[in-house]
Structure 1
């Protein structure tokens, strides 16, 4: 069950959607779903609803709210040069620090929606790094974080999530595309080292043969078998940490 809401975020009003189990079952644990670079749309709504139907209250906020109306885009929009330029402009204009500050309001919105106790975060593509950053910035509230085909998780940038490993208290799962220029092998090794040194409970899993975006149904590289594997890992993570 989807409910559209507005959130007073760090720099204005962010549109968002709250999802609850379609069968009317009670849900108490909350999850923040950090979008990919194409923004909230039907494909992500369906994913958020599937997560909610497993017994959670799921919040899917628009991280690009600072840009007003845009798109609509979908998983194939990146192939169009004009759309790609617009999308990348919004990605560059929405820093990790911005989303970190917004996440305080996202957590409050989950609480207002009835979520109690520790929460989980999950992010795809650009949202992956933000899910990890939230786990570090709000470590007293985030018990688990997952990222799938997340980009630049251990880059040279000052805001790279791997630099925050020492602040993370929850469990992490990192699902990596077999070939992904946004998260090459050297970054994977750097992230693993930082998490080990930081004493973080984590797993990094390589999905051999999967391309960046394989979990999202409207991407041209969507892979049903790989997507179902991702669902199994994600739901198991939250079942073990949020139950």
Structure 2
């Protein structure tokens, strides 16, 4: 991720919020109860480990999840938002593993600090955001994402639980959106499904814009766009759609009306449970289709 993408991401979250549309998504107490039951099941059926992975630039702390019992499952690499590896992303990893995947959620800022330190920072507070921004820039160093993605996929493929005969997936949130595109481009023979949720900076005016990597991808891509991100940059979705079409790639780019930047991450001020569940359903269906 380059500096322009970080600035674009930072600007994105300042867009005024749109009113949430409960009618559109049918939010209900029953849905909340169902989600709670799903998470309880995941916690009971998934093995979770804290792992350390040697990289080109040091040692990355990460969370690993896979189903309990004997078997092999497809691999999935999860890129967090700018607040890094924390409990809500562990919940995502656990839930995904319960669906039958080996999931790695790395600390993207390991070059600067372990997740035990970054988890204490709050992006909404100016002084703490000032600490997070240099960390985000660290993964934007030349070749950093590409090196990390290759290393993380190799780590997953080296696990006895990973079925290397099946395709791998990757998903990312906010800052993690561009990292998904870069991952899909650098290891195209492994990544068969790629998902971005409220990805920041997928289209920029620089030569390093993630959308320019689309021709290198072999994955089917689903990009869920926040309504206020679309308001701020209304042509980005069209650039993405055209880039995928021109490259002959299968992809969907969809704006989520009533959902603001960050809506998929539980605990955020703009979390929209119904919208998050809809995005999760799209993600799950794509993985079932492509990771075979």
| Class of the TM-score when normalised by the shorter of the 2 chains | over 0.9
Match of 1:179 among 222, 228, 234: 228
Q: 1:145 to 1:183 in 2, by over 3 A?
A: farther
1:62-83: per-residue Cα shift (whole Å, max 9, x none)?
Answer: 1111002433246xx2210111
Q: Structure 1 length normalisation: TM-score?
A: 0.94
Contact 2:64–2:103 (Cα < 8 Å) also in 1: yes
Is 1:14 the equivalent of 2:60?
Answer: yes
Contact 1:125–1:151 (Cα < 8 Å) also in 2: yes
SS at match of 2:206: coil
- Match in the other structure for 2:23: none
Is 1:154 the equivalent of 2:200?
Answer: no
Contact 2:198–2:224 (Cα < 8 Å) also in 1: yes
Match of 1:110 among 129, 153, 156: 156
SS at match of 1:235: helix
- Match in the other structure for 2:129: 84
Match of 1:169 among 218, 223, 227: 218
Partners of 1:72 and 1:182 in 2: how far apart?
30
1:17-54: per-residue Cα shift (whole Å, max 9, x none)?
Answer: 11012x54634200000111101010000011111110
Is 1:126 the equivalent of 2:175?
Answer: yes
Long gaps (5+) in structure 2: 1-46
Partners of 1:183 and 1:144 in 2: how far apart?
27
Q: How does 1:184-199 map to 2 (within 5 A)?
A: 184-199=233-248
Structure possessing the higher radius of gyration over alpha carbons = 2
Partners of 1:194 and 1:130 in 2: how far apart?
17
Partners of 1:45 and 1:27 in 2: how far apart?
21
Q: Structure 2 length normalisation: TM-score?
A: 0.78
SS at match of 1:162: helix
Q: How does 1:1-243 map to 2 (within 5 A)?
A: 1-21=47-67, 23-24=68-69, 26-69=71-114, 70-73=117-120, 77-95=122-140, 97-114=143-160, 115=162, 116-117=164-165, 118-180=167-229, 184-243=233-292
Long gaps (5+) in structure 1: none
Q: 1:183 to 1:73 in 2, by over 3 A?
A: farther
Q: CA RMSD in A?
A: 1.7
In the TM superposition, what is the alpha-carbon distance from 1:182 to its structure 2 partner? Answer: 10
Aligned residues: 240
In the TM superposition, what is the alpha-carbon distance from 1:137 to its structure 2 partner? Answer: 1.1
